[in-house]
Structure 1
């Protein structure tokens, strides 16, 4: 049996980047081989098929995202201020010239006609929502924390889909302050 001779996380990141930029449906396995530098046998042996590679790449992306959220919220002065900083950072990201939305959000929108894959994407997004709810629960209780986490996710979708249009960065920040008025926006420099 052939031995895998590559860094799995690196291949997952490369594959995620490809699926993210091109989309699941438009990505061919030939593109995967070229983008990762792996031979077909290595990819199929390690991941099985395109769908399995996509799922593992998306899951890897979600795990990195959750780790980043956790790190930000743990380092923040308060959970609420940490959420403000995360959302403000997303608005700033949307202004970058190479901005490409969010892999999870783009996949959720693209895969509406593929229930199995869309369900998998939804599970990843629900885990992120549950992460926010878990942090908020200590202060707000379970039900209110869940509602607030859902509201945060709605705003994240809005930022990621609306993205940056000339002059909209300030408008997006103002909309966040209006839509999430319970957060301490006064603690940010913007």
Structure 2
């Protein structure tokens, strides 16, 4: 059975997820696991865990790109070992890679290392750019996602912090931070 896994980092990337699903269906995937969650948030990658649990000997797990599957070389090797132990192949569409061959496994490891290096270099440049912008007084961070006055108004009405968070679509910690700013 061909099993597809699609992931985008945020819910704002709906078109990217739809494109992955389209490509996986075109590849013949009979079962799809999809999620919109950051690759670094391993705990929240429930659909990946379900996909890895679902696949059986002889199946092939297909992803459109390597970075949709793993966050680092060690994570990639962990996933491929799990698949290998179950007798499951892995295909990465944009690379034309299939781990059912020795060459495919070698290329996966090499390209996984390059992908991790590329990401680390990008993050390093990003940190340098932010530090420079802060030093020049140009970096303000992202816009606030909460309005403290709304939090305080709901709290004044006797609404519990968890309910305030749910009502405003924010985290409970944000509610407490907004309330702490009063003191």
Shorter-normalised TM-score: what interval? under 0.3
Which structure has the greater CA radius of gyration? 2
Q: If each structure's strand is expressed as a fraction of its own residues, which one has the higher value? A: 2
- What is the TM-score of this pair, normalised by structure 2? 0.27
- What is the TM-score of this pair, normalised by structure 1? 0.26
Q: If each structure's helix is expressed as a fraction of its own residues, which one has the higher value? A: 1
Question: Relative contact order (alpha carbons < 8 A, sep ≥ 6): 1 or 2 greater?
Answer: 1
